[in-house]
């Protein structure tokens, strides 16, 4: 558990507590972060290797040749001998990552959940080594969730919470899982690990989970093969090339355009773009088995309206990603145009996971949010609160709320760059600003104008660092993205060996 997030338990004060508020649940909650959402430490050196540093640490980690080397999988780890890297807690600081546009801290999510439980002891923050296979982390989560529920049922606050509820049943588990965390949760609920864990689970809330995978995982593996590429992106690919966790995020739906067809990505395709064929094969088998696992009381919070890659093309080992994808009829055939060719649709998503990949059932809360913000934005936290308190509102109908945000993930400090907003009809009431995370009290307003019919703003990050773009729409939605600004005197791109 993240030491910096722990608080003193209220157990000693229970005898003096009045009846709990009606909204407080007797259930135990497990928070499961996404990929790169857990802080990691190298046990062989005692050094933190991911997530605990500030902006200066992030700049050094991504822009120096030796940064993040400890995250690469070793031969022992690939053989199943783990333990060199240990997870120490949930991400407590904003952390920029190429392509993923940054990871936001889980502080607000955990604090929000704490308002709905009888005691802080009811909340488990499950940190894990996201480099490893989802299946392995699922087994660890199953064990941790069982121990957590057993301990909570013995806690004095559990009895107090049961007495004040209309349904005085024994407490059960509620999983709140972001991104990859939803896959880890589904793996944990495999009856082969704990035959009673599903029955002891009241609900599963997934926030932007790529149940069918994400094209970005393939793009990361293929980045820069034979071409100049920014150093941070090349470093990410080097880390992920043999990372089982990243291979578990590869698209499992028919996403690869091949002539007049759209087919599944094969292990040989993955090897051709720089990944590991055996890890891809294991991932496909794993996902096939996972389809039969039920998520009790499952509800999805899904990002919508953000331009999101859905299909890809492979040519000579390089990957071209597409913002539109093929869709199927009820009989499994593709929808065709009037020339009997595959028709492509822009479905959008959260910028990382396209909408249909994040949906398992029809109980969905769609929100116009980027992937990192699906676990942080106020509207997402409100949805989580309703579900944790067992006050279910599936959410508003899917519509054209908010807007889409497109911006580079890496820029040169002092050099102008542009961001664009889609699904915008007018600029009135639309605000945009750029905030240096090292100086959050002094955001810079950005002026939006129309450029080729698209709402556009020109921004400049004055110094190297990590910045947050904040967009506020007239209908009250907040859309954000992280951008890293690197030293313009250092080469932002270099050819791969």
Query: pLDDT under 70 in the chain at which residues?
Result: 1-18, 224-228, 391-400, 490-497
Strands 173-178 and 201-207: parallel
**Residue 317 contacts by C-beta under 8 Å, 6 or more apart in sequence?**
222, 225, 226, 272, 273, 274
Tokens of 210: 């790529």
pLDDT of residue 101: 73
Dihedral of alpha carbons 120, 381, 209, 217, sign: negative
Could you give the CA distance from residue 84 to residue 36 in angstroms, rounded to a whole number?
Answer: 17
Give, in degrees to the nearest 5, the angle at Cα 306 between 442 and 462. Answer: 25
Could you give the CA distance from residue 497 to residue 169 in angstroms, rounded to a whole number?
Answer: 61
CATH code of the domain made up of 1-209+273-305+347-401: 3.40.50.1820
φ, ψ at 47 (rounded to 5°): -95, 145
pLDDT of residue 168: 84
Q: Please report, for residues 198, 327, 333, 335, 341, the alpha-carbon distance to residue 330 in angstroms, rounded to integers and kept in the order given.
A: 30, 10, 7, 10, 18
- Among all chains, which residue has been given the structure tokens 């929000």? 112
Could you give the CA distance from residue 349 to residue 216 in angstroms, rounded to a whole number?
Answer: 12
Residue 189 near residue 216, CB atoms below 8 Å: no
CATH fold of 405-486, please? Immunoglobulin-like (2.60.40)
**Residue 276 contacts by C-beta under 8 Å, 6 or more apart in sequence?**
241, 242, 247, 270
Residue 221 near residue 244, CB atoms below 8 Å: no
pLDDT of residue 100: 85
Give domain limits for the chain: 1-209+273-305+347-401, 405-486
Could you give the CA distance from residue 105 to residue 86 in angstroms, rounded to a whole number?
Answer: 19
Tokens of 45: 């050196």
pLDDT of residue 490: 64
Question: What would the 3-class secondary structure string for the chain be?
Answer: CCHHHCCCCCHHHHHHCCCCCCCCECCEEEEECCCCCEEEEECCCCEEEECCCCHHHHHHHHHCCCCCHHHCCCHHHHCCCCCCEEEEEECCCCECCCCCCCECCCHHHHHHHHCCECCHHHEEECCCCCCCCHHHHHHHHHHHHHHHHHHHHCCHHHHHHHHHCCCCCCCCEEEEEECHHHHHHHHHCCCCCCCCCCCCEEEEEEECCCCCCCHHHHHHHHCCCCCEEEHHHHHHHHHHCCCHHHHCCCCCCCCEEECCEEECCCHHHHHHCCCCHHHHHHHHHHHHHHCCCCCCCEEEEEECCECCCCEEEEECCEEEEECCEECECCCCCECECCCCCECEECCCEECCCEHHHHCCCCCEEEECCCCHHHHCCHHHHHHHHHHHCCCCCCCCCCCCCCCEEECCCEEECCCEEEEEEECCCCCCCCEEEEEECCCCCCCEECCEEEECCEEEEEEECCCCEEEEEEEECCCCCEEEEEEEEECCCCCCEEECC
Tokens of 32: 């499961």
From the list 104, 128, 131, the residue with the least C-alpha distance to 246 is 131
**Residue 396 contacts by C-beta under 8 Å, 6 or more apart in sequence?**
365, 366
pLDDT of residue 397: 43
Tokens of 243: 């990372």
Q: What is the model's pTM?
A: 0.91
pLDDT tens track for 144-187:
999 999 999 999 999 999 887 777 889 999 999 999 999 999 99
């Amino acid at each position: 558990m993240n030491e910096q997030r722990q608080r003193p338990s209220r157990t000693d004060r229970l005898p003096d507590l009045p009846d709990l508020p009606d909204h407080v649940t007797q259930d135990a909650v497990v928070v499961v972060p996404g990929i790169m959402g857990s802080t990691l430490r190298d046990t062989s050196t005692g050094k933190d290797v991911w997530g605990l540093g500030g902006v200066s640490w992030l700049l050094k980690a991504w822009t120096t040749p030796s940064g993040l080397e400890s995250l690469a999988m070793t031969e022992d780890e690939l053989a199943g001998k783990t333990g060199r890297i240990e997870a120490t807690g949930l991400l407590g600081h904003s952390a920029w990552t190429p392509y993923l546009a940054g990871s936001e801290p889980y502080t607000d999510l955990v604090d929000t959940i704490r308002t709905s439980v009888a005691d802080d002891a009811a909340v488990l923050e499950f940190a894990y080594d996201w480099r490893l296979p989802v299946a392995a982390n699922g087994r660890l989560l199953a064990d941790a969730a069982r121990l957590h529920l057993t301990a909570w049922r013995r806690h004095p606050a559990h009895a107090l919470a049961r007495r004040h509820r209309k349904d005085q049943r024994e407490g059960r588990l509620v999983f709140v899982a972001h991104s990859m965390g939803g896959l880890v949760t589904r793996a944990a609920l495999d009856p082969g690990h704990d035959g009673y864990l599903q029955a002891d689970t009241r609900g599963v809330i997934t926030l932007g989970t790529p149940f069918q995978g994400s094209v970005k995982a393939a793009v990361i593996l293929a980045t820069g093969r034979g071409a100049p590429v920014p150093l941070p992106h090349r470093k990410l690919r080097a880390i992920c090339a043999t990372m089982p966790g990243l291979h578990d995020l590869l698209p499992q739906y028919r996403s690869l355009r091949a002539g007049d067809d759209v087919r599944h990505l094969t292990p040989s395709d993955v090897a051709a773009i720089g990944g590991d064929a055996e890890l891809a094969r294991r991932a496909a088998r794993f996902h096939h088995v996972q389809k039969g696992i039920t998520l009790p009381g499952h509800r999805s919070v899904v990002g919508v309206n953000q331009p999101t890659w859905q299909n890809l093309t492979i040519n000579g080992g390089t990957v071209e990603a597409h913002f539109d994808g093929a869709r199927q009829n009820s009989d499994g055939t593709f929808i065709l145009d009037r020339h009997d060719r595959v028709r492509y649709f822009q479905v959008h998503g959260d910028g990382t996971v396209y909408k249909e990949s994040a949906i398992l059932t029809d109980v969905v809360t769609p929100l116009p949010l980027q992937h990192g913000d699906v676990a942080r934005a106020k509207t997402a936290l409100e949805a989580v609160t309703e579900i944790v308190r067992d006050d279910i509102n599936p959410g508003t109908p899917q519509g054209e709320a908010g807007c889409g945000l497109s911006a580079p993930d890496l820029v040169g400090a002092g050099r102008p760059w542009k961001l664009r907003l889609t699904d915008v009809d007018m600029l009135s009431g639309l605000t945009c600003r750029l905030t240096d995370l090292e100086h959050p009290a002094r955001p810079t307003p950005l002026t939006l104008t129309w450029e080729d019919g698209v709402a556009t703003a020109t921004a400049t990050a004055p110094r190297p660092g990590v910045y947050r773009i904040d967009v506020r729409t007239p209908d009250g939605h907040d859309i954000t993205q992280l951008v890293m600004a690197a030293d313009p005197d250092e080469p932002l791109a270099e050819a791969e060996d």
